[in-house]
Amino acid sequence: MKGLQALFKIRETYVGIVITIAFQVIFFSVWMTAYDGVNDRTENLKIGLISEDTEMGQQVVNEIKETLPFTIENYTSLANAEQELNQRNINMVIHIPNDFTSQLQAGKEAEIIYSINQANASITKNMMEGVAKQVTEEINHHTYPLQQSKTMDVFSQKFSQLPMEQNTAQQINETVATTIMSVKDRAIDSTIIKTNNVEEFAANFVPLMVIISSFVGAMVMIMQHQQAAQLVQDTISKWQLFLARQLINIGVAFTLPLLTIGLMHLFNISSEESFLTIYLFQALMFWAFLCLVQSFVIIFGNLGMVFNICALSLQLVTSGVLVPQVMLSDFYNKLSSLLPATYGADGYYTIIFGGSSDNLMSNSSSLGIIIAVTLAISTAVVALKRSNVKSKSEQITPATVQ
């Protein structure tokens, strides 16, 4: 009982209990509200549509627009559509080749080509593959009666050319059998092209894993440094302490990428990006995490960890690695642009799966802005706080006085 009484006289005991409760409340509140109604926002996903066939291909385009519950973007250039796909501005490209009608009229299988960027959340990739199969089946269903009609037209033309002899009936039957049998019940085939594809299944989880490990690591590190700072704050000035913490943050941020890259190589996670590119991006991302976590702790003290738990949950929800950001509510979608995990995840999709290097530059710039803003906030708060360092006269204790 004495041990229990002693622990409950210390504030940190209550803080630990509150943080445990906060984890449950925050994660449930954030995740359940963020993912509520996700299925109702599928229209926010974008599909690029390009038809080089002006006959039946155009009919297929109209059917796709009427049936698919997504935002359809029309393109006149396949190269432009593929560029938008590579930059993750659209989720899939549906391409109808220029020989679509001629293939059907010749009784051959026509083809629709679906391109899906694999550098996306798993739910997006799976959904787009399902859409590709669904579209092909529906078009086959609608095209079969059209082919039957065209076949009957061909039969009528042939019948009118037949001589009216005694064997006319037999010739009619043979002609009907030949023409009807030439019609396939599946006249259209689909080809799914997976751009930026990575064969290793574990690679799909790298963006999520890096975000979680980096941010949780930043939380633990800053928490320990805050406790250390409280122990020495009476002996050094607040600016010396603040500067020392920033130097440690920078040192760790630019050392950790060596471990990250080493682990990626150890588990055969390859990348087309250079070592220096991955190194600098990971360093910026971890530094941004440290600065964000630190700002809450500097502003609110130990209570800042509750805000960091909030930030952890919000970033997992809004980063786009689990559910596409466009399928979230407007509040969470806009909030994602303020959090470093959004740019970290997007950058790692480019690192692991490939894509436009412009994305990495844009994401790095955004992380740099977050670092600058959070550092400025922390600096301003430190400037407003009273220094705890004691003067020499205050450090003299009665025991030292002879």
| Cα–Cα distance measured from residue 88 to residue 41, given in angstroms and rounded to the nearest whole number | 18
Do residues 303 and 384 touch, judged by C-beta distance below 8 A? no
Side chain identity at 198, as an amino acid letter? V
- Cβ neighbour number for residue 18 with a 10 Å cutoff: 14
DSSP 8-class letter at 116: E
Q: What is the mean pLDDT of residues 110-116?
A: 92
Q: In this structure, what token pair is assigned to residue 1?
A: 């009982």
Q: What is the mean pLDDT of residues 135-158?
A: 69
Do residues 201 and 155 touch, judged by C-beta distance below 8 A? no
237-279: pLDDT as tens digits: 889 999 999 999 999 999 999 999 998 888 888 888 999 999 9
CATH fold group of domain 38-195: abc type-2 transporter like fold (3.40.1710)
Residue 166 has pLDDT above 60, yes or no: no
| Higher-pLDDT residue of 155, 142 | 142
The dihedrals phi and psi of 8, each to the nearest 5 degrees, come to: -75, -5
DSSP 8-class letter at 52: -
User: Boundaries of CATH 3.40.1710.10 in the chain?
Assistant: 38-195
φ/ψ region of 200 (left if φ > 0, alpha if ψ in -120 to 50, else beta) reads: beta
In this structure, of 28-37, 120-129, 296-305, 329-338, the range with the lowest mean pLDDT score is 28-37
Say what the pTM is: 0.79
The dihedrals phi and psi of 36, each to the nearest 5 degrees, come to: -70, 125
Beta strands in 316-384 (DSSP E): none
- The pLDDT of residue 170: 61
- The pLDDT of residue 78: 93
Q: How far lies 41's CA from each of 35, 37, 70, 125, in Å?
A: 10, 7, 9, 16
173-209: pLDDT as tens digits: 566 656 655 555 566 778 888 888 877 677 888 898 8
Q: In this structure, what token pair is assigned to residue 381?
A: 């708060």
For tokens 């006085």, what's the residue?
401
Q: Which residues contact 368 (CB under 8 A, 6 or more apart)?
A: 284
% of the chain exceeding 70 in pLDDT: 80
What average pLDDT is seen over the chain? Answer: 83
Q: Look at residues 342, 354, 215 and name the one whose alpha carbon lies nearest to residue 277.
A: 354
Instruction: Report residue 303's pLDDT band, with 50, 70 and 90 as the boundaries.
Output: confident
